[in-house]
Copies of this chain bind each other. A is one copy, B any other.
Amino acid sequence: MPISNQVAVVGTGVTRFGELYDRSYLSLLHEAATAAADDAGVEVGALEAAWLGTAEPQLGALVGDSAAAVTEALGFAPRPVTRVANFCATGMEAVRAAALAVAAGEYEVVLAVGAEKMRDLAPRESLVAKAVEQSHPVIAKGRTAPGQFALVASRYLHTYGYGRDVLAAVAVKNHQHATNNPKAHYRTPLTVEQVLSAPMAAEPLGLLDCTPTTDGAAAVVLASRRWAERNARQWVLIQGIGVGSYAGYYPALFRRDNDFLGFAATRAAAASAYRQAGITDPRAQLDLVECHDCFTITEIVNTEDLGLFASGTGGAELLAGTTTLGGELPVNVSGGLQSCGHPVGATGVRMVAEVTDQILGRAGSRQVRGARRGLAHNLGGPGAVAAVTVLGAA
């Protein structure tokens, strides 16, 4: 488990997330990367290698289909640049690739950046419509992303006796959190009534149960612990970073062992990250969690898959305020995907940046008091892959 505590996050940079029609993919990438370098106190020219997370370059004009985007945006030549992609876990995979390279001792200080331009296409071309593989006949039968997560939502509500209000509570909590995040796509509070009365997307998920389609970029500078100790102003340690997988493209539909009540990929990723980080009681040992909430139900079941709450109790803990800022274990104090939006390649990097900023005590009005250790989680596929990163104070 050699990554553990050997790699530091020494700088973070996040652009505003939103409908950024006036910004190009390359300018967003540049803004995030240079902000992260500035925060780390290094020139971009001092970064030895870079990893780019972009998931769906075909949604745009194929910019970001290779890491040449980094070379072009940052003048990065002749240094190594590499693109990684793994559904909605793409951003955290960029962080993991960079962390592995540092842990290998190959580089001392590197860049992980995620970026995605998603608003330049008509909504029917959006991620919600296209995040599922196109060749299979079921796609023609309405198996959209909301449709697939609706299966989980229906099963969860049925099995544990919740109503749609538990789903709405996620949206309300995360939108309230986002009022404290100047970079979120949406910063307007919602009421339960508003969420419940929104147009239905895929029953029981309404429009306000879904992440919006968003542009944005985020970056972190990673360094070896040795480099951080000598050069960094502020830094946190990557205590663990794990990836898990469940099935191929159609996990929710075709695997008999799927109970539609959670995500095995999340459980596998968490087990790996917790082993590295020495976490045995995540609820007690974590101070905050950024958890993938592409749909409201996703947050609820993933908090259970992450071992924060027992099966079926994630909804009750949510309703009791456990996961609200100020509660016992705040989840998505950034506003989550629900309010920040989900520029796919950027999201996992944004989460790592958020947890870093929280541990460093510089999260402003959304600061989790005394945060010393936090977790960031990405789910992709849906449910095909997941990534979990545990970050802790140095």
Q: Which residues of A contact B (CB under 8 A)?
A: 1-3, 49, 55-56, 58, 60-63, 65-73, 76-87, 93, 96-97, 100-101, 103-106, 133-135, 242-249, 264-265, 267-269, 272, 380-381, 384-385
> Do A248 and B69 touch across chains, with their CB atoms under 8 A apart?
yes
Given contacts A61-B134, A86-B66, A101-B100, contact A247 B380 (CB under 8 A): no
> Do B82 and A247 touch across chains, with their CB atoms under 8 A apart?
no
> Do B82 and A93 touch across chains, with their CB atoms under 8 A apart?
yes
Rounded to whole Å, the gap between the CB of A331 and the closest CB of chain B is: 23
> Do B245 and A71 touch across chains, with their CB atoms under 8 A apart?
yes
Taking a contact as CB atoms closer than 8 A, the residue among B86, B104, B246, B264 that contacts A2 in the complex is: B104
| Chain A to chain B contacts (Cβ below 8 Å), 26 pairs | A3-B106, A49-B243, A60-B135, A62-B133, A62-B134, A65-B133, A66-B380, A67-B86, A68-B248, A68-B249, A70-B245, A72-B248, A73-B248, A77-B268, A78-B267, A79-B268, A80-B244, A80-B245, A80-B272, A81-B385, A82-B97, A82-B243, A84-B85, A85-B85, A97-B97, A100-B101
Given contacts A62-B134, A78-B265, contact A385 B247 (CB under 8 A): no
Rounded to whole Å, the gap between the CB of A111 and the closest CB of chain B is: 13
**A65 cross-chain contacts in B, Cβ below 8 A:** 55-56, 85, 133
**A106 cross-chain contacts in B, Cβ below 8 A:** 1-3, 100, 103
**A135 cross-chain contacts in B, Cβ below 8 A:** 60-63
Nearest chain B residue, comparing its CB with the CB of A1: B106
Given contacts A63-B133, A134-B61, contact A86 B86 (CB under 8 A): no
Rounded to whole Å, the gap between the CB of A294 and the closest CB of chain B is: 15
Rounded to whole Å, the gap between the CB of A369 and the closest CB of chain B is: 34
> Do B380 and A268 touch across chains, with their CB atoms under 8 A apart?
no
Q: Please, how many angstroms separate the alpha-carbon atoms of A80 and B103 in the complex?
A: 17
Rounded to whole Å, the gap between the CB of A49 and the closest CB of chain B is: 8
Q: Please, how many angstroms separate the alpha-carbon atoms of A209 and B79 in the complex?
A: 30
> Do B133 and A381 touch across chains, with their CB atoms under 8 A apart?
no
**A134 cross-chain contacts in B, Cβ below 8 A:** 61-62
Rounded to whole Å, the gap between the CB of A260 and the closest CB of chain B is: 16
> Do B104 and A245 touch across chains, with their CB atoms under 8 A apart?
no
> Do B58 and A58 touch across chains, with their CB atoms under 8 A apart?
yes
Q: Please, how many angstroms separate the alpha-carbon atoms of A312 and B245 in the complex?
A: 50
**A1 cross-chain contacts in B, Cβ below 8 A:** 106
**A268 cross-chain contacts in B, Cβ below 8 A:** 77-79
**A3 cross-chain contacts in B, Cβ below 8 A:** 104, 106
Q: Please, how many angstroms separate the alpha-carbon atoms of A78 and B271 in the complex?
A: 11
Taking a contact as CB atoms closer than 8 A, the residue among B61, B71, B244, B381 that contacts A384 in the complex is: B71
**A104 cross-chain contacts in B, Cβ below 8 A:** 2-3, 100-101, 103-105
> Do A245 and B67 touch across chains, with their CB atoms under 8 A apart?
yes
Rounded to whole Å, the gap between the CB of A87 and the closest CB of chain B is: 5
**A66 cross-chain contacts in B, Cβ below 8 A:** 55, 85-87, 380-381, 384-385
> Do A76 and B133 touch across chains, with their CB atoms under 8 A apart?
no
9 tightest Cβ-Cβ pairs between the two chains A and B: A72-B248, A61-B135, A78-B268, A2-B105, A80-B243, A103-B104, A104-B104, A68-B384, A58-B58
**A49 cross-chain contacts in B, Cβ below 8 A:** 243
Select the residue from A66, A76, A86, A267 with max chain B CB neighbours within 10 A: A66
